[in-house]
Amino acid sequence: MGKYAEVEWYKRRLAEYTAKHGAVPPPWVHAEDSHPYSIRWRMGEGETLVMVFHEWWEQQNLPEADRVSYFRKWPPPPRWIPWMADLIWDLQPWECDGEFDYSLYCERLAQLGFAGTNEVQRDLDDEKWLQME
Predicted local distance difference test score (pLDDT) of residue 3: 81
Q: What are phi and psi of 62, to 5 degrees?
A: -80, 145
Q: Report how far residue 53's alpha carbon sits from residue 26's, in angstroms, rounded to the nearest whole number.
A: 7
Q: pLDDT-derived band of residue 132, with 50, 70 and 90 as boundaries?
A: low
**pLDDT one-digit tens code per residue, 37-55:** 999 999 999 999 999 999 9
Q: Give this prediction's pTM.
A: 0.91
The residue extents of the domains of the chain are 8-132
Q: Report how far residue 89's alpha carbon sits from residue 14's, in angstroms, rounded to the nearest whole number.
A: 24
**pLDDT one-digit tens code per residue, 28-39:** 999 989 999 999
Residue 22 region by backbone torsions, left for phi larger than 0, else alpha for psi between -120 and 50, else beta:
left
**pLDDT one-digit tens code per residue, 80-101:** 999 999 999 999 988 888 889 9
